[in-house]
Amino acid sequence: MVVKNAIVCDADGERNVDIRIQDGMITEIGSALSDNEIVDASGLYLIPLLVDTNIRVQDSVLNAKNIKAVSDEALENGIGHIVLNSDSLPAIDNEIVLEFAQNSLHNLSGAKVDLMLNTLKEDSTLSNIAILLKRGAIVPFMSTIAKNDVAIKIAEYCQMYKVTLFCKAEDNSLIKSGVMLEGNVSSKLGLAGIPDLSEVLHVSRMIEIARHFKIKIVFKSIASPRSIYLISQAKKDGVDVRCEVSIHHLINSDQTCKNFNTTAKLNPPLACEDDIKLLQEALKNGQIDMLTTLHQPSSPLNKEVAFYDAAYGCDGLKNAMSLYYSKLVKSGMISMSELIKLCVKNPSDTIGKKCGTISVGQKANVMLFNPSQILIMDEKLSLYNGEELYGKIEAVF
């Protein structure tokens, strides 16, 4: 099969070439290629399938049904590789749960699924990191509720096994009672707030641990511009730290929580309007390394309740590629090639994979994307329900 006339776009830029795909592999790239099966992709982008390392299953309940559902939904919406968060129910913090989850990965027909390991058990003691890594968990995850002595041991394991530590920066004493960002909106709604210092304090702490042990850290779903500044300064000093931000935190402020909109109850909480502008500037300036859909779907039973009692999260996979394109590329914030770096190349690097470029000899994990098609978001538990979006996936190879 030959795909002709597409705008081929990857992390290296855009070009107009023909692509030959045989047995799921890219076997030739050139011009005027011929074949018995020709796909005319005039006006369409040919781009790599996305990678998302911050995905949860329905209600965070880890079972075969939910894993299959999230794998299928991811691929349908342009994401070819996902990494499931380890703080599920049950958490992936022991061999039994890991093996149980791995058994659910067989015969998936959707996106490739990998598993994180939770470095902390429920009582905040250390899990058996070495065994879990040897048994197939792809990267370790740590919440900064871990005390210093435990965090240092986790860093030593990462140093020993040369793996990237995925870190959620949060302060247990500050997040316990809060349900959204502390500020004017939370005051008007009469809701307990979480100060952004909850994140910033622990980003600073973990940067110093990364510096000392010379390990790689990805800070998951950062929401504070101050955190991004600290991470950027650390990079200049040679510290290998990276910053992940969700699409929701780039385009929605805490104003979205008005009228007690539980779909906007996210973890971390949405930032204020002034900080949204700073987050967008950070994206334009290349200070953000990775993007995520922050997919954390909940049953209506857990969302259609009082804001304080509602579960955190929203549906992030529905029309994910269209959302990225509409909000970030079509709006002029970043280019399509930059989107591929943020959503394919950089996240795959953190898990030891090499994706994001389209070249001969690679698996054809690509999609044809039509930027001129218009669709309406029809997911009730999405922050964008009812919105008009641009772009539609025409085919996946």
In angstroms, the first-to-last Cα distance of the chain is 11
Give the residues of the chain that fall short of pLDDT 50.
none
Per residue in 68-79, pLDDT tens?
999 999 999 999
- Residue 366: C-alpha distances to residues 81, 273, 292 (Å): 12, 36, 18
Tell me, what's the pLDDT at 175? 87
Q: Is 106 exposed, middle or buried (0-12, 13-18, 19+ CB in 10 A)?
A: exposed
Per residue in 113-172, pLDDT tens?
999 999 999 999 999 999 999 999 999 999 999 999 999 999 999 999 999 999 999 999
**What is the pTM (predicted TM-score) of this model?**
0.97
Domain boundaries, the chain: 48-356+380-390
Q: Which two tokens stand for residue 14?
A: 């855009």
In DSSP notation, 124-137 reads: S-B--HHHHHHTT-
Tell me, what's the pLDDT at 250? 98
Is residue 209 within 8 A of residue 150, CB to CB? The reply is no
Tell me, what's the pLDDT at 174? 86
Return the SS3 of 54.
strand
CATH number belonging to the domain at 48-356+380-390, selected among 2.40.30.10, 2.170.8.10, 3.40.640.10, 3.20.20.140 = 3.20.20.140
Residues 6+ apart with CB under 8 A from 344: 10, 11, 48, 49, 50, 51, 355, 356
Tell me, what's the pLDDT at 218? 98
Scan for tokens 């349908």, then name that residue.
76
Scan for tokens 């910033």, then name that residue.
200
